[in-house]
Structure 1
Amino acid sequence: MGSQEQTMLVSRGRTGLVAHALLFVALLSSTAAFSPTLTAPRLLASPSSYATMPLRPAPTFQLPMGRVVPRLGLKMQEMATGGEPEESPAVRKFGLLAMWASFGAYIAFIAPQGNPEVELPLILGALNIPPKDDLSPVFVAAFGLLGLAPLMFAALFAPLKPKNQSLSPLPFCLAGMASGMLAITPYCALTSYDSSLPPEEPTGFLGAISSRGFGVFSLLSTLLAFVFALGFFQPNTINGGSDFTWDVIFSSNLTEFGKQFAMYPSVNIPTVDFVGLWLLSSKPLYEDMKRRGWLSDGADKALFASFMAAPMLGLAFWLAVRPPIQTPKASNAAEKL
């Protein structure tokens, strides 16, 4: 092996290590970005901040609720009215930005490199109706939902936008139809979810996609994509079209998807993008459910987990069934009654 080849191998190895390090940092820092209640460890606090921190007694193992709930924070957080610590906006912002940078590094250094002459027919084949038979139905379903997911995000963001925040979600979500989470993640990092501020009533195009009609359309489209991924609309080509049950057909489609994922960047990158958007929806979905009275200050976590269990399906179902948003005035009036 020549010295030039050795130099190239060392360079690639270093590049891979840098990319993996970025992904590892994103995994640690984005925990608070996705979780509605967790924040980064308090050990990261600035030493100068300890001078102003009030002393607290050592933690006990008997609480009024009969259980111990550990709370970790970047710094001492003021308790909200419902008893939950307010989330540090800086932790969520930098966690999401680290995730955004890591996805860019993944595309550049880790994802398989392909030939445009091969990749373009694959993308066009996924856009065909019906899609090409040599593409896995699992990928075709995820690829189709990538076009709908940014509009679902816009429907989720619009009612959460405070009136004093000039940043509109529409440009980010429209750009997300082409670039996915690369366009939507910055909005999630820069926006605010302060429930004490009155939400903005969406109008125009945002008002249309925030309606229940669009939610029902999203739910039906997502269900159709899941059914297609299971192989119900794809002709069976296993062993020349032998009669197999749907689980065998789905297992075969999943195996074929794994091969295409490892080989083609046009399959690999959109799939990772789809998973990233699914994780990205957790925080705004939690806030929207909380403002509409379905969640109450950390309770009903099992209900929230059920909405996040199936990628994008829970979000589509929520857009179809969510009640009107509860403003502070409406909540106070309801309590008086």
Structure 2
Amino acid sequence: MTRKLGLWLLWAGFIAYILFLAPPLHLEETLTLLKNIFTLQWSNINPVILSLFSLVGIWLLIYSGLLFIDGRTQWIPFWPFALASVGSGVLGLIPYLAFREPNQEFSGRKDAFLQLLDSRFFGIVLSLSTIVLLFYALSFGDWKDFVQQFQSDRFIHGMSLAFCLFWFLFPTVLADDMGRRGWNNPQVFWAVAIFPLIGSLAYLCLRPPLQASSREEWLAANR
């Protein structure tokens, strides 16, 4: 109950902060930025901001690598919240984290989609993409401009804070995923949890594969 209450308070508090305390929203500039991103006119965008926008997408894929599996054993599936997160980022994710119950079990077989999310290939692709994005931002980005936009633009401000919240919330689902794989190691848990983004990507690359049960075992478990 305490965990759920904390998540709902965080969700409501973040919304209230963005609406009432964050810098003003420059709607026309925000729409132009999004248009340039989705039409691949990236030369008009500060590489730091473009990389940050992309890394929020990486975070959503990292969570997908855990929560589509987790949703198999929850009373509510993850996919509606995954769709909501595409448009609203962490605001679409937190309600699922609040609704779900702690569960370290998995039953049934992995379909092709879950096999992809469970594969080390998935983690490696995300890790390589992240390395490219970080290199692009660090090498070519205008960090002074980013700081200025963080302080004056609600969209950039909120997106930056959302990135931090993705990291902060990852431990809430990490322990269950480790438990499903029989990898209950406190040292690994804290190593993954402490290092922003890199720890989560390393976990996807190194975690043992999830063991699916046979059809007979799955039917027995769901009678």
TM range (shorter): 0.7 to 0.9
Q: Write the distance in 2 (CA, Å) between the matches of 1:130 and 1:307.
A: 35
**Which runs of no fewer than 5 residues in structure 2 stay unpaired?**
213-223
Q: Secondary structure at the match of 1:132?
A: helix
Query: Structure 1 residues 162, 144: closer, same or farther in 2, change over 3 A?
Result: closer
2:197 counterpart of 1:312: yes
CA distance in 2 between partners of 1:172 and 1:207 (Å): 20
TM normalised by structure 1 equals 0.56
Aligned with 1:147 (options 33, 36, 57) = 57
SS in 1 for 2:43: coil
Equivalences for residues 1-337 of structure 1 within 5 A: 90-127=1-38, 129=40, 131-132=42-43, 135=46, 137-161=47-71, 163=73, 165-195=74-104, 197-199=105-107, 201-231=109-139, 234=140, 253-296=142-185, 299-300=186-187, 303-325=188-210
Gaps (5+ residues) in structure 1?
1-89, 235-249, 328-337
| Contact 2:7/2:97 (<8 A) preserved | yes
Q: State the SS of the aligned residue for 1:259.
A: helix
Give 1:254 shift.
3.0
Q: CA deviation at 1:127?
A: 4.3
Per the alignment, residue 66 of structure 1 pairs with: none
Match of 2:218 in 1: none
For the residue of structure 1 that corresponds to 2:42, the secondary structure is coil
The CA RMSD over aligned residues, in Å, is 2.6
* CA shift digits 1:303-330 (9 cap, x unpaired): 3333234432222221122112369xxx
Going from structure 1 to structure 2, the CA distance change for 1:157 and 1:200 (only over 3 Å counts) comes to farther
Higher relative contact order (CA 8 A, sep 6+): 2
Q: CA deviation at 1:162?
A: 5.7
Larger radius of gyration: 1
In proportion to residue count, which structure has more helix?
2
* Cα contact 2:7–2:94 (8 A) shared by 1: yes
TM-score normalised over the length of structure 2: 0.82
Distance in 1, matches of 2:110 and 2:62, equals 14
Does the CA-based 8 Å contact 2:103-2:176 persist in structure 1? no
1:322, 1:112 → 2: CA distance?
40
> How many positions carry a matched residue from both structures?
213
